[in-house]
Amino acid sequence: MTEVVIIGAGNVASHLFRAFRQSGEVQIVQVYNHRSEKLADFAEISTTTSLSEITQADLYIFALKDDAIAKTAAQLKDTGGLFVHTSGGVAMESLSKFKNFGVFYPLQTFSRNREISFKNIPLCLEASSEENLHKLKELGAAISENLYEINSEQRRALHVSAVFVNNFSNHLYQIGADICKKHEVPFEILRPLIAETAAKIEELSPAEAQTGPALRNDEKTINAHLELLNAQESKIYKLLTSSIQELHGKEL
């Protein structure tokens, strides 16, 4: 059974830990974090707060903040195992001090208290050799049905796309919630719309799914909307409206 050390104890680390344990195909032999209180969730297995105590294993997964990956790697000895990180924004080469290295990037948003099935999460894999890639595919297949070979440049593009579809969409939900609050309307009224907006994308391309006053060039509605918005909201409304019109003007 593949023996794995997880370096880090944040959301990605916890979710990977749980998924590997449930798979029954991977043995987590140790979890590292520099703060012991973060290791409470992993009490059933061996944990350490010292990089010098990290044990021998087949695979080391750096599930750390982007900035911490190279710094932590610099303090680790090369055991000959395969060293990978889980970041969308960091090049594979940040781990090139090791003989065997790669990337094991689960493209999903993780929250501490929200269960999520790993089965559907796309795993973006990259490795320093064919043999290492093969190992990552085996490991990935234990927890997910969606494996992709993605190089560092493609991963960077995916990461910025993820910011648009995830972080920025969520911010638009927040603006929607703020407008509702200001006008004493319960935000819950918008929840089925949010769900359907995302669900449509399972079947349609975003270009096909686009609707609304911007697409229709419905100036009367656009102006009525702008009257309700504060300065910042107006700026966003205008920019996204013109962006929709530019994109669809070109395409249609």
Chain residues 179-218 in contact with a copy of itself, contact rule CB under 8 A: 179-180, 182-187, 189-207, 209-215, 218
CB 99, min distance to a copy of itself, A: 27
Minimum Å gap between C-beta 155 and a copy of itself is 8
Question: Please, which residue, 46 or 167, has the CB nearer to a copy of itself?
Answer: 167
SS3 state at 52: helix
* Residues within window 222-241 making contact with a copy of itself, judged by CB under 8 A: 224-225, 228-229, 232, 235-237, 239-240
Q: How far is the CB of 76 from a copy of itself (least distance, A)?
A: 22
If you ran DSSP here, which 8-state letter would residue 97 be given? T
Query: Taking the complex as a whole, how short is the minimal distance between the CB of residue 59 and a copy of itself, in angstroms?
Result: 23
Q: State how far the Cα of 76 lies from the Cα of 153, in Å rounded to an integer.
A: 26
As a whole number of angstroms, the distance between CA 161 and CA 72 comes to 27
**Quick one: how many helices (H) and strands (E) in the chain?**
10, 8
Nearer to a copy of itself, 44 or 219 (CB): 219
Near a copy of itself in 40-79, by CB under 8 A = 66-67
Buried/exposed 128-154: b ≥16 CB within 10 Å, e otherwise: beeebeebbeebbeebbeebbebeeee
Tokens 């944040």, residue? 10
What are the tokens at 17?
């830990």
What residues from 143 to 162 belong to the interface with a copy of itself (CB under 8 A)? Answer: 146, 148, 150, 153-154, 156-162
Identified binder of a copy of itself from the candidate list 45, 122, 133, 137, rule CB under 8 A: 122
Q: Which pair of structure tokens corresponds to residue 83?
A: 């060293």
DSSP code, position 36: G
Nearer to a copy of itself by Cβ, of 133 and 175: the residue is 175
What is the bridge-based pairing of β-strands 100-106 and 122-127?
antiparallel
Size of the site for a copy of itself (CB under 8 A): 92
x/- letters, 79..118, toward a copy of itself (CB under 8 A): ----------x-----------------xxx-x--x-x--
